[in-house]
Structure 1
Amino acid sequence: MRRADRLFLIIHALRGRRSAQPARRIAETLGVSLRTVYRDIADLQLSGVPIEGEAGVGYVLRKGADIPPLMFNADELEALVVGTRFVRAFGGERLGRGARAALLKINAVLPPDLRERGRRTRIFAPELPNRIEATGLIDRLHGAIQARTVLLLDYRDQHEAVTRREVEPLCLAFWGGSWTLGAWCRLRADFRSFRPDRIATLAETGQSFEDDRTRGLEAYLRSVGAEPDER
């Protein structure tokens, strides 16, 4: 568990409690040692979080000083809920799991009225098994982008002709109905945008590539008319 997540969960464990929470119980909940809990609470106290108590007694958030770590108005919350729904439907399996986890954390610290407002939003993004996002291909492309792994594609053009392309994957873009993979194509020695639904086969070459200034992400974005700071 990341330290940032652990600190967040410690604050959540103390939130709204009238009696002191023993450090041992917090440690058991988080699956960490007592020493780790003591150190994390000391760090939170030093950073200004109003936690009172001591080892062997327990800890509470000072009454009247329970400040929420997240502050959203109703429109911001609805945007987050709708956004996570779209990520779950179109972002691939890995990001979909992340979106679910993020929404659970947000809901954990919201007051009931805002939590209910988020549940009532009527904008949906159904997750369907027949879309490309359900095949795992978007996850594979995303993973290759992050790892800077050269890919070998058998790619169909609009006339169904297949060419073999060795590409350096740079980014994915979702256009509302379709995806494109932005990449440096070694065959054409230029930037190309590939549609994942036209990839007949995909394989990792085992090679990696560097983020070159002349053919990396920022250069690709400029080539398609998007400045890097517009991401």
Structure 2
Amino acid sequence: MIEGTPPLRRADRLFDIIQTLRGSRRPLTAAALAEKLEVAQRTIYRDIATLQARRIPIEGEPGVGYVLRKGYDLPPLMFSAEEVEAIMVGAHLVQRIRDRKLQDAAMSVLDKLRETVPGELRAQLASPRFQVSDGTAVRPEGIDLHDVRNAVRSCRKIRITYRDEQGEDTSRIICPIATIYYVDVTLIAAWCELRIALRHFRVDRVLQSQVLEDSFAAEAGRLMAAWRATQPA
């Protein structure tokens, strides 16, 4: 697993603090909130102060715990029925790509929608009038797609053991620059140090993987430009 997972954006974290307090039946300490959101306690103290300054009715104090005053509700998000359905279809399509963290994030988006859209749209979320097939992609066993996406964002190299279509296993170090999701397979677009070229690797053919400390940040822009130049317009 990759260390140092990027933290939530602050706006997302503030929203999650409100949602966590809304769902709790007892006061929550800064330590409990910090553990849930994977941040430092001092970050929670700052965030609570920010929310209180924005007139969010959070009551409590350090060392005792915090509660959200009953009756508080977030203002409704202004989505049309078509926009809500587009988000729902997209969130369900994410289930086909076998990326557990991305799947969880998609369901979290729907949970947030249910809490914030007006009542007439909540019924649409509760009883969708569509179905998305499960897809045929194989869940990868030798690599975690969450790690891949983090390595792409942080420009970290990955060591992989890869089995090609002839059944030959090779050890490679790659510089991952993008993930490509198809219905039946997910690919990693990367610079391969073994082949000294850009390559696409099927995640279901990765037997083992390890995210390295080595960075390719200085080359990331050039590699991305070179890869994009090879893609259909």
Identify the TM-score tier after normalising by the shorter chain: 0.5 to 0.7
Q: What secondary structure does 1:120 align onto?
A: coil
Percentage identity across paired residues of the two chains: 27
Matches within 5 A, 1:44-55: 44=54
Residue 40 (structure 1) aligned with residue 51 (structure 2): yes
Residue pair 1:180, 1:195 contacting (<8 A) in 2 also: yes
Residue 140 of structure 1 is matched in structure 2 by: 147
After TM superposition, give the deviation of residue 101 of structure 1 in Å: 1.8
Equivalent in 84, 88, 109 of residue 81 of structure 1: 88
Q: CA–CA distance in 1 between the matches of 2:17 and 2:146?
A: 32
Pairwise CA RMSD: 4.0
Matches within 5 A, 1:13-32: 28=27
Segments of structure 1 that go 5 or more residues without pairing to the other structure are 14-24, 46-50, 53-57, 227-231
Equivalent in 109, 122, 130 of residue 122 of structure 1: 130
Task: Tell me the TM-score normalised to structure 1 length.
Answer: 0.67
Deviates more, 1:194-203 or 1:204-213: 204-213
* Alpha-carbon spacing, 1:73–1:91, altered in 2? closer, same or farther (3 Å): farther
After TM superposition, give the deviation of residue 173 of structure 1 in Å: 0.4
Task: Tell me the TM-score normalised to structure 2 length.
Answer: 0.66
After TM superposition, give the deviation of residue 10 of structure 1 in Å: 8.4
* Alpha-carbon spacing, 1:30–1:110, altered in 2? closer, same or farther (3 Å): farther
* Alpha-carbon spacing, 1:213–1:202, altered in 2? closer, same or farther (3 Å): closer
Residue pair 2:142, 2:207 contacting (<8 A) in 1 also: no
Q: CA–CA distance in 2 between the matches of 1:154 and 1:134?
A: 12
Equivalent in 192, 211, 223 of residue 216 of structure 1: 223
* Alpha-carbon spacing, 1:136–1:122, altered in 2? closer, same or farther (3 Å): farther
Greater relative CO, 1 or 2 (CA 8 Å, sep 6+): 2
Give, as a single letter, the amino acid of the residue that structure 1 aligns with 2:81: A
Q: What secondary structure does 1:113 align onto?
A: helix
Query: Larger C-alpha radius of gyration, 1 or 2?
Result: 1
Q: CA–CA distance in 1 between the matches of 2:200 and 2:27?
A: 50
Residue 178 (structure 1) aligned with residue 174 (structure 2): no
For these two proteins, the number of residue pairs brought into alignment is 202
Q: CA–CA distance in 2 between the matches of 1:170 and 1:199?
A: 17
Q: CA–CA distance in 1 between the matches of 2:201 and 2:226?
A: 17
Residue pair 2:142, 2:209 contacting (<8 A) in 1 also: no
Residue pair 1:184, 1:215 contacting (<8 A) in 2 also: no
Give, as a single letter, the amino acid of the residue that structure 2 aligns with 1:208: S
Residue 11 of structure 2 is matched in structure 1 by: 4
* Alpha-carbon spacing, 1:80–1:91, altered in 2? closer, same or farther (3 Å): farther
Give, as a single letter, the amino acid of the residue that structure 1 aligns with 2:78: M
Deviates more, 1:169-178 or 1:109-118: 109-118
Matches within 5 A, 1:65-104: 68-90=75-97, 92-104=99-111
Give, as a single letter, the amino acid of the residue that structure 2 aligns with 1:113: E
Segments of structure 2 that go 5 or more residues without pairing to the other structure are 1-7, 34-43, 58-68
Residue 167 of structure 2 is matched in structure 1 by: 160
Q: What secondary structure does 2:200 align onto?
A: strand
After superposition, the C-alpha distances for 1:198-223 in whole angstroms (9 at most, x for unaligned) are 22332334422224266432331222
